[in-house]
Structure 1
Amino acid sequence: MPHSGRKKRNPVSAQKRLEVTDDDGWTHVTSGSNVRRVVRTTKARSDRDTDKVDETEPVLSPAEAPARLTFEELEAQYRGYKERWVQSETWQKLRVQLDQRIHDQETETLSQDLNVDGIVCIGLGSPSGFLRDGWVDRRAVSMYQLAALETIKDVFTSSFLPPLKNHSDIQLRLSPPSLRLLCKGANRSSSFPIYAQDPVFNDLDRALLESLGMTVVNTPVAFERVTSKTLLFCPGAERKHLDMLLPSNPKLVLGGPLENTESSIIQAYAEKTDSRILVPFSAQEHAFWKMRLYHLAQVEA
């Protein structure tokens, strides 16, 4: 005899999440009832390419931060992530690799081959909020990647310092690199811009990035900032975005891996570079999984 008092299971609530694989092979985790796709028509801004490109992709909304999270709490959380990143072997080895690119090891002067005048960050994700209607939590990944972005920025801004003005500047210049990196606000310069773009950024994310001297921009502004003198920081950029970015021949790329992506554009760029894989990051291995630092030695005319 059936139990008339038993509640029937709601088929909608039972469907907790879905994995949606798009045409580019990327898998997105989302709730089944809220995913939607639209056709976006974008026009390339380059004078050499004015064709319209039709793209079908999920509409990404700003990540949902916990209701009671304040900026002060988020900032304190970030300091903890940054401290672990700065102390890691991954950062120590990456800093040496960057220094080798920036400085001529024989003359101990700035390398003439490396002419980088800014950083563009694509696909960082949200340091404060949950993605895909709250089903995906990659805040720790974004925090560590943001710490990497800030320390990389500090290496470049401390390498291309303006003329010394006072005694405190001299003391800072003579300090070890690790101390310079930890100096809050040290050597931040508007002449070395850092642009960050991701549709999932919320107000807290924007406030955090801007407090670190970065400029948060909306799509497609960051795409237009990539030149042959750019360091492209793209830990979460999708393949179709790399197809748009890499023809600009950025001088350095931190991301990937770019090899074996089944994209002729990405493969062509990778073949023109030399690269070093990052040491595995033990605190959060997925934050820099198989990522490489790519250096484009020469840009074709």
Structure 2
Amino acid sequence: MRIVLVVLFDDVQSLDVTGPMEVFAGAELYREGSYRIRTASLDGAPVRTSSGLTLVPDQALADVPTPHTLIVPGGRGTRAPDLRLTAWLRAHGPRAERLVSVCTGAILLAAAGLLDGRRATTHWAYCDKLARDHPAVEVDPDPIYVRDGEVSTSAGVTSGIDLALALVEEDLGRAAALTIARHLVVFLRRPGNQAQFSAQLAAQTAQREPLREVQQWITEHPEGDLSVESLAARARLSPRHFARAFQTETGMTPGRYVERVRLEHARRLLEDTADGIEEISRASGYGTPEGMRRAFVKTLGAAPAEYRRRFRPAHIN
């Protein structure tokens, strides 16, 4: 039996706690004896979450046995970490077979020195702070979770569920993880390297209606003529004015936005359909498989066929 220990503290984010716990509880129902889930706070006293919910831990951290999987959630309580908690993590974290953080729980792991020399992520809003305060940590702000050896870190809130499902799949197999995902009505298909934001969310929404309409049109027509000249005509602006206004209002150039939309569209088709590579390259606006391959290798480090092999669910043939 694998002991899963979730650390509790005042002002913890409740969903960071309950999301992964529900996944592991579902795994225990799927295969009895798989996991034993425990919660613990520094002194064993109840804690109040950032949303006002009170959680009663099973015991004090000083009394818990060494867990197989140690989960450190995030929340407002990580902004000024209790030195006793980081000291406990520094002493006991390395003993766990798997060390996991959810959201800003990565800040606690970093404060304990447990992320030094490792690649990690956290909620997008705190990636800069994590990198600034802990330069020994290689912070990657894009993925929803990062696995570096026995240490795994996840982005904001619901990504803790994605990471927990990945860990269950590693332990019990894909059928178990898929059953749990269906029960929780969540996707099992979100791989760790999926971006925290879609292209539309990564860019700011333009203030002017013609530019907003262009943003939406790009998303709906990745295969279309998305040159600056064509998009500028759609917005009824000169190409120079359009390019300048688009970057000012969205925070990225039209070309960069188009690249992200096309890559996102191609990834979705590779994961969710059995369409051929050539068909997907045309539908995503790359024109040729070679053009799509170059974009995938540059951004994701894997060719489309390899990406599909890794991340397409087994039931899609």
TM superposition score category, shorter chain reference? under 0.3
When the two structures are superposed, what TM-score results if normalisation uses the length of structure 1?
A: 0.28
TM-score where L is the length of structure 2: 0.26
Q: Determine which structure has the larger strand proportion and give its number.
A: 1
